[in-house]
Amino acid sequence: MSLIMYQYPKCGTCRKAKKYLEEHGISFTDKNIAEEPPSREELEKLIKKSSLPIKKFFNTSGQKYRALGLSQKLKEMSEEEMLDLLASDGMLIKRPIVTDGNKVTVGFKEDLYKETWG
């Protein structure tokens, strides 16, 4: 199983997720979410396959999220507008996102990784 991990090198949660995958011998392709963010089409697929609401894909603790006042603005936005916004800047996306093309995890919880990725 070949995974893609969208992550940000300075993110502590991403480092934990990466360490987990490496320690469990799970191979993955590393993509810096700031330099190589998923496209709008990729995001749409990831959101659908994750079965999570689109709001779960926002990095709510990020500086950009707070600077743009998104906690209030998202309440007024359509899903299409949210998708456009996520696709506009990788730093707005919650990370890490790990996918094998069928399954998707967002963020890092060891139990979820065990269950999903082994």
Give every CB contact of residue 10 below 8 A, 6+ residues apart in sequence. Answer: none
**pLDDT of 2:** 87
pTM above 0.85, yes or no: yes
Q: How confident is the model at residue 1 (pLDDT cuts 50, 70, 90)?
A: low
Domain residue spans of the chain: 3-117
Superfamily grouping for domain 3-117: Glutaredoxin (3.40.30.10)
Per-residue pLDDT tens over the stretch 21-57: 999 999 999 999 999 999 999 999 999 999 999 999 9
